[in-house]
Amino acid sequence: MDYFPIFMKLQDQACLLVGGGEVALRKARLLRSAGARLRIIAPELTPELAAWVAAGEVEHIAAAFRPEMLGHPQLVIAATNAREVNQQVTDAAKAAGIPVNVVDDPELSSFITPAIIDRSPMVIAVSTGGKVPVLARLMRARLESLIPAGYGALARFAGDWRERVKARFSQVDERRAFWEAVLQGPLAEAVMAGSDGGDVEMDALLASNARWHAGCVYLVGAGPGNPDLLTFRALRLMQQADVVLYDKLVAPELLELVRRDAERIYVGKARADHTLPQDDINSLMVSLAKAGRRVLRLKGGDPFTFGRGGEEIDTLAAEGIPFEVVPGITSASGAAAYAGIPLTHRDYAQSVVFVTGHMKDGSFNLDWPALTRPQQTVVVYMGLSHIQGLCDGFILHGKAADTPAAIVEQATTVRQRTLTGTLADLPALAQAHGIASPALIIVGEVVRLSDRLAWYRRKPAGG
């Protein structure tokens, strides 16, 4: 982050605004809405600012800014069209250790003002670090349309009940589970709609003996890496879980979407890096759920496509642990789509096969006759470390050496690289370009289409 987001309490706090034009007026409205005591330094004022001064609501010094006028405000905003004046304001404020913002000039600012969605007491701030204010305003407009005005009433209602809920539930996890049930249920909808029966319903909920926090496991597919490809359901559960078990194939950007205070446990599962054996992962999920925790088992791709999800939920079912499976976009689908390689195409391939490239006892235990059929696409998971043996195996069992083949590294992310070649030269291409896991190998005539259909971050094809 270029800026640390923070909300300041300005009720009855002195704030200084330098400038008296339309831009200054907009900033003055925001400061007054936050309850600030406002002093303005400017030779002239807009009519609205002048009216506030005449009414005694705002202090005004009718002069050009001089450093000795600074005083001791909580914060300073400069909104003049003279950069030399703005520079003076910045220098004086920074020398006094006072936060200062110069409108549309991040270089002179120690803080920036975001675009604001006001559902007081709930306030949402959107910022681009001062680089593209228009984009922040566009995002604000989009959020304004998505967040009902009733959320303000809901936030006030919940705030009024906060201490009583805290007294009823001594454990943090219990309180969180109770509030999540309330704020996502019919009571919340009624409060946002203006119903006056919320207090009676809340009393009844607090008096009930319902178990608000039972342990469970969410088996969630994180997709191929791009956070935009998560399902809505996956994102909601990532925000609800108390503890997250994740593996090597989960992109760091995805972990940033997990609830901030959730415990994170890395369980490995990369080749030769099994931080926890599968049986231990299964046992850990069971023990955490039995302790009343909501466990998120976050897996790259889809849990049921080479993700051992079936083994994990089999254990959960045997132990009587409630669970839910949220599918994700498979790594094969994501890699193929972002590389411009259709997995099926009526002119090239009428079927597709997914296979793992693990070796056992130094050899591949693969159904080669099935993999070398014509008019078929083969996607190899976890085959990069044995790519030479894989390509040799295809050729040995009947595939032509010039059969098109591709490697897609870190598919769907900004780090994606796609190399295309043939079974004969793909291993050398992978080595020459330093391809590393996670990467998928795609074999079949459909690879020929990549040069023409690749749309995502086009890079020169190898070979």
CATH code, domain with 275: 3.40.1010.10
In this prediction the pTM is 0.69
Coil vs helix vs strand at 461: coil
- Note the pLDDT tens digit of each residue in 120-153: 999 999 999 888 889 998 999 989 888 888 999 9
User: 317 a known binding residue?
Assistant: no
User: 23 a known binding residue?
Assistant: yes
Q: Is the domain of 352 the same as that of 300? A: no
pLDDT, residue 280, reads 93
Higher-confidence residue of 309 and 364: namely 309
Average pLDDT, the chain: 91
CATH code, domain with 187: 1.10.8.210
Range of the domain at 362: 332-453
Residue 299 is among the residues annotated as catalytic for this protein: no
Contact 139, 132 (CB under 8 A): no
Q: Is the domain of 244 the same as that of 184? A: no
Contact 450, 418 (CB under 8 A): yes
Q: Is the domain of 337 the same as that of 314? A: no
- Note the pLDDT tens digit of each residue in 148-161: 889 999 999 999 99
Q: Is the domain of 197 the same as that of 233? A: no
- Residue 422 pLDDT > 50: yes
Distance CA 386, CA 354 (A): 16
- Note the pLDDT tens digit of each residue in 273-293: 556 889 999 999 999 999 888
Residue 269 is among the residues annotated as catalytic for this protein: yes
pLDDT, residue 361, reads 61
Q: Which of 271, 216, 231, 227 is nearest to 248 (CA)?
A: 271
Residue 2 maps to a domain = no
Q: Is the domain of 366 the same as that of 325? A: no
Distance CA 463, CA 445 (A): 16
Q: What is the CA radius of gyration of the chain?
A: 30
Residue 310 maps to a domain = yes
- Residue 174 pLDDT > 90: no
pLDDT, residue 463, reads 40
| Number of domains within the chain | 4
Residue 119 maps to a domain = no
- Residue 425 pLDDT > 90: yes
Choosing from 27, 269, 299, 399, the catalytic residue is 269
Q: Is the domain of 193 the same as that of 222? A: no
Q: Is the domain of 197 the same as that of 240? A: no
Provide the token pair at 100. 């200062």
Distance CA 123, CA 6 (A): 11
Q: Which of 335, 354, 341 is nearest to 417 (CA)?
A: 335
pLDDT, residue 271, reads 53
Band of residue 460 on the pLDDT scale cut at 50, 70, 90: very low
- Phi and psi based region of residue 270 (left: phi greater than 0; alpha: psi -120 to 50; beta: remaining): beta
Q: Which of 405, 383, 219 is nearest to 298 (CA)?
A: 219
Task: Return the axis-axis angle of helices 151-168 and 198-207, rounded to nearest 10°.
Answer: 30
Residue 120 maps to a domain = no
Q: Is the domain of 319 the same as that of 339? A: no
Q: Is the domain of 109 the same as that of 38? A: yes
Choosing from 247, 248, 299, 367, the catalytic residue is 247
- Residue 462 pLDDT > 50: no
pLDDT average, residue stretch 300-312: 93
Residue 435 maps to a domain = yes
User: 163 a known binding residue?
Assistant: no
Least confident of 162-176, 206-220, 339-353: 206-220
Distance CA 44, CA 64 (A): 9
Phi, psi of 156 (to 5 degrees): -65, -40
Q: Is the domain of 75 the same as that of 18? A: yes
Q: In whole angstroms, how far apart are CA 120 and each of 116, 138, 157?
A: 11, 21, 12
User: 411 a known binding residue?
Assistant: yes
